[in-house]
């Protein structure tokens, strides 16, 4: 029971408390690319698969580099190689076995794979020294948290377009203010302590 509790804590932490967009600003550029819920869900589904699979591989990279001096120099390059392996494997599987799905997902696959959220998730997992199951849970939680954040921003942008906003704040400026307010709200809910 303690094991399931630990996995759930890591998942919820990645989903809410360390939300990639609101807590770390990872993937903030993606809020401009996807303007419909269907695009957001498709992008997020591919991203969840990438972060989950690459987070599992991260544990093995960390084990291999455990005794290496100055391992921090090699980790980012190895993580990018890991993400590339997942991208190539996903592309080949889709190309040979699911060509219709590849035509549907093909344009989103590179953006969801090579994005700062993917490498950021791996670096966070590496710095936290999570176990295999915890890494897997963190990868799923990060992807799902990013999907929830994109949907929240989408809903906020729709509401903001119906509001009477000064011309200088329309578009990106009001969206960034909205994201900042959401970030502060989540930061307050988590209950961080101020340094003394």
Compare 177 and 194 and report the one with higher pLDDT. 177
* pLDDT tens digits along 165-177: 888 888 888 888 8
> Could you tell me how many residues make up the chain?
196
Percentage of the chain lying above the pLDDT 70 cut: 90
Is the pLDDT score of 13 beyond 80? no
The pLDDT confidence band at residue 191, using thresholds 50, 70 and 90, is: low
The residues near 80 (Cβ < 8 Å, ≥ 6 apart) are: 119
Rounded to whole angstroms, the Cα distance separating 17 from 191 reads 9
The whole-number pLDDT of residue 195 equals: 58
| Statement: residue 27 has pLDDT above 80 | no
Report the predicted TM-score, pTM, of the whole model to 2 decimal places.
0.82
Q: Does position 44 have pLDDT exceeding 70, yes or no?
A: yes
Categorize the per-residue pLDDT at 87 as very low, low, confident or very high, splitting at 50, 70 and 90: very high
92 has pLDDT over 90: yes
- Cα(189)–Cα(173) distance, integer angstroms: 25
More confident residue, 196 or 178: 178
pLDDT digits (tens, 9 = 90+) for 131-179: 888 888 888 888 888 888 888 888 888 888 888 888 888 888 888 888 8
Q: In whole angstroms, what is the distance from residue 106 CA to residue 36 CA? A: 18
Handedness of CA 120, 139, 122, 134 (dihedral sign): positive
Show me where the domains of the chain are located: 26-154
């Amino acid at each position: 029971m303690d094991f399931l509790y630990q996995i759930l804590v890591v998942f919820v932490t990645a989903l809410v408390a360390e939300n990639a967009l609101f807590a770390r600003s990872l993937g903030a550029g993606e809020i401009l690319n996807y303007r419909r819920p269907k695009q957001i869900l498709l992008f997020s589904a591919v991203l969840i698969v990438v972060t989950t699979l690459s987070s599992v591989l991260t544990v093995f990279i960390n084990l291999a580099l455990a005794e290496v001096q100055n391992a921090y120099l090699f980790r980012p390059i190895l993580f990018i190689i890991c993400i590339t392996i997942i991208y190539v494997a996903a592309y080949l599987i889709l190309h040979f076995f699911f060509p219709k799905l590849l035509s549907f997902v093909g344009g989103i696959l590179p953006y969801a794979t090579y994005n700062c959220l993917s490498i950021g998730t791996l670096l966070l997992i590496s710095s936290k020294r999570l176990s295999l199951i915890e890494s897997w849970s963190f990868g799923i939680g990060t992807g799902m948290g990013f999907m929830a954040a994109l949907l929240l921003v989408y809903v906020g942008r729709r509401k903001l377009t119906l509001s009477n906003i000064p011309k200088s704040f329309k578009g990106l400026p009001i969206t960034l203010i909205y994201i900042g307010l959401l970030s502060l709200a989540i930061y307050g809910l988590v209950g961080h302590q101020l340094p003394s």
